Amino acid sequence: MSLEFHCGYVALVGRPNVGKSTLMNRILGQKLSIVTAKPQTTRQRIAGIKTTDQGQIIYIDTPGIHLAAKKALNRYMNRIAHASFHEVDLILFLIEAGRWTRQDEHVARSLESVGVPVLLVVNKIDLVPDKSQLLQFLEKDVKTGRFEEVLLIAARSGDGVDRLEARVLKSLPFSRPYYDEDQWTDRSERFLAAELIREQLMLRLHQELPYSLTVEVEEFKREKRVLRIGAIIWVERKGQKQIVIGKGGDVLKFVGSRARKALQELFEEKIYLRLWVKVSRDWSDSERALRQFGFDEH
């Protein structure tokens, strides 16, 4: 290992739907965080680990920070995101090109007191073809002087991401790696399985009840060259249970089929998947239920 080897933690923070998970998946070169068009898709902190000859960067994908945190789940997500400010070596503050909201300003002010460098990462620059318009937006609305540096990227296409990675590496301390070079996340296979199932539910039911769902994996075992996964889909009302099941079970069959394909791609194994739907009344507003369903503060 080179004496010039860098290693450290980098938090991806910002309001919901600015592309934090898309950026992390792009950097890792494989899917770790689930991605949908709905805000607040990411609910828990997830580490994505990238190791090269020059260094090891542990990217922490955090839930989007939002102002209206009425339920226990929303308050949990805000706590998790804010806690990451003080546990890393560098913060990447993501915003959407051409759009600066009250929530963005709230995040920016929250970052004023952190003791580590904050780089402003302007994502989705491909959606603003007029670059003079973009410069005006950054100077007038964002007031970029508050940040150590401004980097322009398009996470979906990868434009500017290599430059971002090089800049991040330079900011990290010289250190031995914290993780084995073949490890790419700190999360368990059970957790990843639950997230992929939830992603398919959100994609299928994005109009009806994306935020009333959570997934708990009860069975996860390998036998006879098959990975057997059994998961409970928890909803908050009896009526929601019927929506998830669908007429004649069609929604659950569709979700199960898509989820099984996604799981087979991730684990590169034959998957046997069973899904059940159960009701836990108002689980998203219960601290006890959140702990039961694996929403860990640590």
Cα gap 23→45, rounded to integer Å:
15
Inter-CA distances, 76 with 71, 79, 115, 290, Å: 9, 5, 23, 9
Domains belonging to the chain, first-starting first, are: 6-171 (3.40.50.300), 189-292 (3.30.300.20)
Cα gap 78→82, rounded to integer Å:
6
pLDDT digit string, tens, across residues 211-246: 899 999 999 999 989 999 999 999 999 999 999 999
pLDDT digit string, tens, across residues 8-64: 999 999 999 999 999 999 999 998 998 888 888 999 999 999 999 999 999 999 999
pTM of the shown model:
0.93
Which pairing describes strands 226-235 and 270-279: parallel, antiparallel, or unpaired?
A: parallel
pLDDT of residue 123: 97
List beta partners, residue 185.
48
pLDDT digit string, tens, across residues 250-284: 999 999 999 999 999 999 999 999 999 999 999 99
